[in-house]
Amino acid sequence: MINKQDIDTNTSTLFKEMLKMKRREMTPGNRRRTQSPNITQVRLYPMSQERKYTRYLFDLMDVYSDIATPILRDNMNRWVDEQKIDNVRSDEFNDEFQLMTTELKEVQKDMFEPGGDGVQDDKGNIYSFLTITTALAVLGISVSKHNTKQGDKFTKQVLGVPFTPFEPWLEDVMDIWTLRNHDLINSLTTEYIKKVNFIVPEGIVNGDTVQKIMSDFRKMDTNMTRSRARLLARDQVGKLNGRLTKRRNQELGLDLYRWMTAQDERVRSKHKVLHGKIMRWDDNSVYADSIADARAGNWKSRSSIKGYIGIPGQDIQCRCTSQAVFDEIIEGIDNEIRKEKIESGEIAPSVRKKSTKKKGKEPTKTKTEKLREELRIKKAQTIKAREQLSKPQKSVKNTKVELQKIRKEIQENGAIASQLETRIGEVKQELNSVNKEIASLERELKRGED
């Protein structure tokens, strides 16, 4: 046998491990920024499913109205006239009226008893125990799918992917809801027959006019086949949606949720005061103004603000829903990740420096003191900037001096070069005169030899 507690634990563990894998991939900064996720999604009420259920009930109740209305319309004048003459209910009225109520009861029996033959309306719809329970089961599954889709919007925002766990308990929940609604519809038809049995004979005995009796019947008929049917559909769809939301949130390990109303003029005051407040799934009597208050344990009684005691969708015709709160579970997972990283040596444990200041509140600074402090800081920054700017200026001055020295040396070297050139010219002249003397001597020697 599958244990409910084991399923809840396994689902919660699996969800936390997937969330842990997702957050382990994040940088510490991203983890800090998303520790309180900004859940923008809103869980939508299953309005489409409610409308389908309402239309189904309208068609089913019309079967009874289509039997009773023409019989009463065709015979009411005669029944009233006979009552005026005899001053008592005639046997003919009694027999004819009882035939009508017997027919209504037979239709009810064929519709709702497991061995019934079933009834077909003028649209071709067949109503029997099997077809009614099947229609209700399909509708319940549709509500469940809608609920799952809405829940996936929240898990996808924190996981990156939808999270749809195995739910072996769902079949039992659907079966209970289906049989419960089968009984409620049966009770609605029983009440319809009882009211017909009361309004018509009571009006005839009291001597009411045909118009009044038929008017009372039409009011009852409209109330039972429309208003009460619509109320039943909204109430039961809302209740199933609320129970599924609670069960699935608790299985994920989510203990908190934010109450969300339909935010229209039909919202009741006791629900309106709860809109946006933080709630606990395990205690329907308290609320907190914020997640911070919930963490601090600052819970308040809903009675103090005349709020509804229960979960969204539980009250009659309630269209309220919930918004998942992941803050607690994310904070716990981030702490686990940090602890694991410290143990593995990936990061060093943070050590807080001990303060040397004496404990106690620091004196509050006046506006003037704060302005002076800001001016002092700006002045220090300006001086530092000027020092930085002066360094490249000094470097430029030094470079100019060096350039002047080099130019001076070049000028001095140029003077020496010109002196050398003059001396070289003089030496060249001396060499020319020597060469001339040598040439004259060679000529004289040559003459002496001749």
Q: Which of 236, 253, 270 is the last residue of a domain?
A: 253
Q: Mean pLDDT across the stretch 237-254?
A: 93
Same domain, residue pair 75 and 194: yes
| Within a domain: 14 | no
The residue written with tokens 């008592």 in the block is 88
| Within a domain: 397 | no
* Separation of alpha carbons 422 and 415, rounded Å: 11
Same domain, residue pair 267 and 143: no
| Within a domain: 409 | no
Q: Which of 278, 299, 325 is the last residue of a domain?
A: 325
Same domain, residue pair 321 and 263: yes
- State the chain's mean pLDDT as an integer: 84
Same domain, residue pair 297 and 177: no
DSSP string computed for 153-199? HHHHHHHSS------TTHHHHHHHHHHHHHHHHHHHHHHHHHHHHHH
- Please indicate whether residue 145 or residue 429 has the higher confidence score (pLDDT): 145
Question: Does pLDDT of 87 surpass 60?
Answer: no
* Separation of alpha carbons 338 and 364, rounded Å: 37
Same domain, residue pair 264 and 189: no
Instruction: For residue 112, give its domain range.
Output: 38-253
Same domain, residue pair 212 and 132: yes
Instruction: Label residue 426 by pLDDT band (50, 70, 90).
Output: confident
| Within a domain: 331 | no
CA 351 from centroid of its chain's CA atoms: 37
At 2 the pLDDT is 44
Same domain, residue pair 264 and 240: no
> Among the listed ranges 32-41, 361-370, 371-380, which one has the minimum average pLDDT value?
361-370
Q: Mean pLDDT across the stretch 219-236?
A: 94
Same domain, residue pair 189 and 50: yes
Same domain, residue pair 48 and 168: yes
Same domain, residue pair 319 and 172: no
Q: Which of 301, 325, 349 is the last residue of a domain?
A: 325
Length of the chain in terms of residues written: 450
Same domain, residue pair 126 and 270: no
As a whole-number percent, the residues of the chain with pLDDT over 70 amount to: 81
Task: Encode pLDDT of 112-169 as tens digits.
Answer: 999 999 999 999 999 999 999 999 999 999 999 999 999 888 888 888 888 888 899 9
Q: Give the other-Cβ count within 10 Å of 79's Cβ.
A: 22
| Within a domain: 140 | yes
| Within a domain: 33 | no
Same domain, residue pair 213 and 317: no
Domain count, the chain: 2
